[in-house]
Amino acid sequence: MRRKLAALALGVVATLLLVELGIRLGYQGFVAAQTRANVAALAQGEGVVRIACIGESTTAVAGDPMGRRLVTWTSYPAQLERILAQRQPELRFEVLNLGSMSGTTSVTLERLEASMVELQPNLIVAMMGIKDTPDERLPGLASLPGWLASLRTVQLAAWLAEELRLRRGQSRPEVSSAQEIPASMNGMERELRAYVQEPRVMDAPAAVRDAALDRLAVGLYLWYIGRLDRAEGVLRELTQEHDLGYSVLARVLVSAGRYSEAREVLEQAIALHPDEVFYTIVLADLLTEDGYPDRAVQLLEALDAQRDRFAQPERDRSYLLLGLGDAYRVQGDFVQAERALAAIPDLEGFPEYRPVLWSLGFLRELALGQLYLDMGELALAEEHLEAAVQRSPKRHVSMFLLGQVYARTGQHEKEEALRREILDGTERLAEYYELAKLFRRAGYPDRAPELVAEAVERIPSLQRNTRQLYALAQRNGIQLVVMQYPGFALELVHAYAPPAPGVRFIDNEHLFDPDPDRYFFSPRFPNSFTHYTDEGAGLLAERVADTVLEIFAVEPIEHVEPAH
């Protein structure tokens, strides 16, 4: 019996060795053939040089030229395509922006791998990882020893297991209902409260209300992953079928740079529902963001003069005063802004409208904190922002502004405690990076590597996703560039994305040092990392363009400034 068991074991081992050898030889042959095909196509001038830029919202969007909001057409991939066309017109470059407004690196890689046959990129540029968290567990490679994880048979088994996981919960760009949105997005609940601003949704009959909330969640999700056309289609159907969804549709159109169409949508809603004040409030918000606070003030003051028509006077006027206070603040009339915000009753809000409206008390404290921060009244700003954090814990925007107060007042211990609180709540790599930035600003840069080492240990998906990306590029014969987020050291990336054959790295640590205020964009955006202005994104695109032209051994004809 022992001999039979031993023979069986030897047979299994021999079979696995043969399978391993066969997979390795076939894999190497496939990679070599794929690489030769890509290089030959470029050498013969076939098609285009296709570049896939992957990452999160720092890839997907950048600040608009007015510094009001995040948009797609100023993103570094969009500017990269224009720069490459200007600097080397002999080749045709096509840059694909696969950045996602939300979701983790796993989601990004899922989308990339699912699109490989269709996209067929020649080069992948990756700047990713900030949204990874410890709960991204891989049922396989991450916990295995390196020698075992390197076996092709083990990788094949892991890939099959991962495929099953993806089929159960992958981020599909063509979702048709809220149930299909990845669990990591939490049903878009925060986004619904932040952007819907349409109480009529909750006043509708139950069946219409539920259908509208479902469509709104889908539209917001598609917006977040950069599928603006699909988001617009879903939301236009909602406005046509149920006469709802105008505010979110306007936001999506603004993100696409279609300002006049966004205003037309809201003006249409106002004409259809003259007694619904929130469409006017949203229109005023957009005007303020666009740099027209005077027009927003006129609009809201005229509306306030007709308050006897409000459906719910206390609710409607409170949110109107929030918009009016913000417009006054941007206008520079701090006295009027303070007066408007002080007139808002100290209420928690209106529970029946919670799915589509943020808490009134939280928004009031947040607006006062922002106002006093702009006025330089830092003690008052701190008081109101701390109150906002207490009313709505873990809300990024209030904690972000409070962190600014602590930074400006030199309260580094409080800022670190706040950053640690954000980190404990989200456990995202982004918060480790923000804490590392604090350490550098406070004069303790040597603490950053230890901090990121802690992140790598607590977030195993960082190394796993890097291995997956490296393997994806290698087996498809695709050039790979990995770059660091501006402001952070390349050594921090190497903690989870080590140097490897065929992988190039771009060091952006000091790229924005000459003028950080000009290049960094700090939006009041849910769960935002530090984004870039249009000029900052252009500077980043120039850095990437240098590497792209070097990779393809193309001599640039001249250096020109990025077009905006």
Q: How far apart are the first and last CA of the chain?
A: 77
DSSP states of 368-385: HHHHHHHHT-HHHHHHHH
Q: 26 or 443: whose pLDDT is higher?
A: 443
Q: How far apart are CA 509 and CA 298, in angstroms?
A: 45
Please tell me the predicted confidence (pLDDT) of residue 191: 86
Give pLDDT tens digits for 45-60: 456 899 999 998 899 8
Average pLDDT rounded to a whole number, residues 226-247? 93
Task: List the chain domain ranges.
Answer: 30-135+469-551
pTM for the whole structure: 0.67
Please tell me the predicted confidence (pLDDT) of residue 5: 60
Q: 14 or 51: whose pLDDT is higher?
A: 51
Residue 387 has pLDDT above 90, yes or no: yes
- Residue closest to 328 by CA, chosen among 318, 319, 339, 317: 339
pLDDT band at 22; cut points 50, 70, 90: low
Buried b (16+ CB within 10 A) or exposed e, 12-50: eeeeeeeeeeeeeeebeeebeeebeebeeebeeeeeebb
Give pLDDT tens digits for 273-303: 998 999 999 999 999 988 899 999 999 999 9
What residues are paired with 94 via a beta bridge? 50
pLDDT band at 419; cut points 50, 70, 90: confident
Q: 280 or 10: whose pLDDT is higher?
A: 280
- C-alpha distances out from residue 471 to 28, 196, 327, 477, Å: 12, 41, 51, 10
Q: How far apart are CA 307 and CA 524, in angstroms?
A: 29
Q: How far apart are CA 470 and CA 496, in angstroms?
A: 12
Average pLDDT rounded to a whole number, residues 71-85? 93
DSSP states of 29-78: HHHHHHHHHHHHHHHTT-S-EEEEEEESHHHH-EE-TTSSSEESTTSHHH
Give pLDDT tens digits for 507-548: 999 999 898 878 988 654 444 567 899 999 999 999 999 999
Residue 501 has pLDDT above 60, yes or no: yes
Instruction: Please provide the average confidence, as pLDDT, over all residues in the chain.
Output: 82
Determine the residue type at 120.
Q
Please tell me the predicted confidence (pLDDT) of residue 559: 42
Residue 148 has pLDDT above 70, yes or no: no
Please tell me the predicted confidence (pLDDT) of residue 341: 97
Please tell me the predicted confidence (pLDDT) of residue 319: 96
Please tell me the predicted confidence (pLDDT) of residue 414: 86
Give pLDDT tens digits for 339-351: 999 999 988 778 8
Residue whose structure tokens are 């949704």? 201
Domain at 30-135+469-551, CATH class: alpha beta
Residue 164 has pLDDT above 60, yes or no: no
Residue whose structure tokens are 């539920």? 210
Give pLDDT tens digits for 299-344: 999 999 998 889 899 999 999 999 999 999 999 999 999 999 999 9
Q: How far apart are CA 219 and CA 229, in angstroms?
A: 10
